[in-house]
Amino acid sequence: MPAVRGKDIEVLFSASAIARRNLELAKEIASRDYTDLLVISVLKGSFIFAADLIRAMHDVGLSPEVEFIFISSYGSGTTSGEVRVLRDIDNEVNGRDVLLIDDILESGKTLSYTRELMLSRGAKSCSIAVLLDKRMRRQTSLNADYVGFDCPDSFVVGYGMDVAHAFRELPFVGVVKGEV
């Protein structure tokens, strides 16, 4: 078990498993008839997944435009709170195919809110890609169009995801265990 910052981290999804899955997701996305694709990475947690997924998309022939929206749904704790847009995108979404990329779909509050926002701005479609799906935590009717992995009901870190601002840099997804 890798030790990071004095904690044991159990690897749930390895860097190589994630890379393989990203390519499969990219192929799935490429098989749809999106005409004018605008990818929106939901910050902060999705930044590494989005960076890898858009390069996998390039490898299968897609050339999306890329934007970032900064959504806060968590505060500093680990329970879902109110959804707020902290920094909006600059692009026009009217008439375009939007693909939201996020790290985890949990209650669904963050992505339902963001999806409704894009549709209210006239997006032609708004699909959702998430690395991890915690289905057992859902509080909305939202489901993702593209899911990397089903996630157990544990708090995960790494590959962009943090606990109290730590562990985003890990190249894998893991669960923090005890002190080393």
Tokens matching residue 137 = 């935590």
Amino acid at position 173, single letter: V
Rounded Cα gap, residues 66 and 79, in angstroms: 29
Looking at 24, 155, 169, 180, which residue binds ligand IMP (CB under 6 A)?
155
Tokens matching residue 117 = 């926002």
Q: Is 45 in the site for ligand IMP (CB under 6 A)?
A: yes
Rounded to an integer, what is the distance from CA 55 to the centroid of its chain?
A: 15
Minimum gap (Å) between residue 103 Cβ and Mg ion: 5
Q: Is 64 in the site for Mg ion (CB under 5 A)?
A: no
Q: Is 69 in the site for ligand IMP (CB under 6 A)?
A: no
Looking at 53, 109, 118, 146, which residue binds ligand IMP (CB under 6 A)?
109
Q: Is 45 in the site for Mg ion (CB under 5 A)?
A: yes
Number of CB atoms found within 10 A of residue 64's CB: 20
Minimum gap (Å) between residue 84 Cβ and Mg ion: 12
